With several copies, the nearest count.
Chain A
Amino acid sequence: MQVATFLAYLVAAVLFITGIRRLRKPGTARSGNTIAAFGMVIALVATFLVVEVDAAWVWLLIGVGILLGGVLGAASAQMVPMTAMPQMVAAFNGVGGGCIALVALSEFYQGAAETWVAVISGLLTVVIGSVSFAGSIVAFTKLQELAFTGSVVFPLQQVLNALIFVGILLLSANVLADGAIVEAVGAPFLSPLVSLYILFAASLVLGVLFVIPIGGADMPIVISLLNAFTGLAAAASGFVLGNYALLIGGTLVGASGTILTRLMSGALGRPLGKIIFAGITATATQKGDQQEDREVHDASPGEVGEYLSEEANKIVIVPGYGLAVAQAQGPMHDLMETLESRGKEVLFGIHPVAGRMPGHMNVLLTEAGVPYDKLYDLEDINPEFDDTDAAIIVGANDVVNPAANDPEQDTPISGMPILEVEKAKRVIFVKRSLSPGFAGVDNPLFYDTEKTMMLFSDAKQGLQEVVEAVKSA
Chain B
Amino acid sequence: MEQLLVQLAIFIIAAFLGFELISRVPNLLHTPLMSATNAIHGIVLVGAIIVFATADDTFTIVVGFIAIVLGAMNVIGGFWVTNRMLGMFRPPVKRVRKRKG
Are A and B in contact, CB atoms below 8 Å, in the complex?
yes
List residues of A whose CB falls within 8 A of some B CB. 1, 3, 6-7, 10, 12-14, 16-17, 19-21, 23-27, 29-30, 32-34, 36-37, 40, 43-44, 47-48, 51-54, 58, 61-62, 65-70, 72-74, 76-78, 80, 82, 85, 88-89, 92-93, 95-96, 98-100, 102-103, 105-107, 109-110, 112, 115, 117, 223-224, 227, 230-231, 233-235, 237-239, 241-260, 263-264, 267, 350, 352, 357-360, 362-363, 366-367, 369-373, 375, 377, 380, 383-384
CB pair A85–B10 under 8 Å, yes or no, is: no
In the assembled complex, the Cα of A122 lies from the Cα of B22 at a distance in Å of: 28
Q: A53-B53, A248-B10, A371-B91 are in contact. Are A73 and B85 (CB under 8 A)?
A: no
Q: Give the distance in Å from the alpha carbon of A254 to the alpha carbon of B11 in the complex.
A: 10
Q: List 28 A-B contacts (CB under 8 A).
A: A10-B5, A19-B36, A20-B33, A24-B26, A26-B28, A51-B50, A61-B52, A69-B73, A72-B77, A73-B74, A73-B80, A82-B88, A92-B35, A98-B66, A99-B48, A100-B47, A247-B14, A249-B43, A251-B11, A252-B21, A254-B15, A256-B19, A257-B34, A259-B19, A358-B27, A363-B88, A366-B89, A367-B88
| In contact, A231 and B41 (Cβ under 8 angstroms) | yes
* Known A-B contacts A30-B83, A40-B42, A249-B41; A102 and B67 likewise in contact (beta carbons under 8 Å): yes
- Which chain A positions have C-beta within 8 A of B68? 61-62, 65-66, 69, 99
A88, B14: Cβ atoms under 8 Å? no
Task: Write the B70-101 contact mask toward A (1 if CB under 8 angstroms, else 0).
Answer: 11111111111111111111111110010111
CB distance from B77 to the nearest CB of A (A): 3
Assess A230 versus B41: contact at CB under 8 Å? Given A106-B63, A110-B54, A255-B15: yes
Q: Which residue among A20, A33, A237, A244 has the maximum number of chain B CB atoms within 10 Å of its CB? A: A33
Contact of B22 among A10, A105, A245, A256 (CB under 8 A): A256
B63 in contact with A105 (CB, 8 Å): yes
B92 touches A371 (CB 8 A): yes
Are A76 and B77 in contact, CB atoms less than 8 angstroms apart? yes
Question: Assuming the A-B contacts A43-B46, A69-B71, A237-B44, are A248 and B80 also in contact, with contact meaning beta carbons closer than 8 angstroms in the complex?
Answer: no
> CA A30 – CA B19 in complex, angstroms?
21
Complex: how many Å from CA A469 to CA B88?
A: 29
- Contacting pair A99 B21 (CB below 8 A): no
- A24 engages B25 (CB within 8 Å): yes
Q: State in angstroms the CA–CA spacing of A25 and B28 once bound together.
A: 9
| B39 CB, min distance to chain A CBs, angstroms | 7
Residue of A nearest to B66 (CB): A102
Chain A residues whose C-beta falls within 8 Å of the C-beta of B2 in the assembled complex = 1
In the complex the two chains form, what is the Cα distance from A121 to B55 in whole Å? 21
B18 → chain A, closest Cβ, in Å? 3
> A residues within 8 A CB of B79?
33, 36-37, 40
Q: Can you name the residue of chain A whose Cβ is closest to the Cβ of B13?
A: A248
Contact, CB under 8 Å: B72 / A68: yes
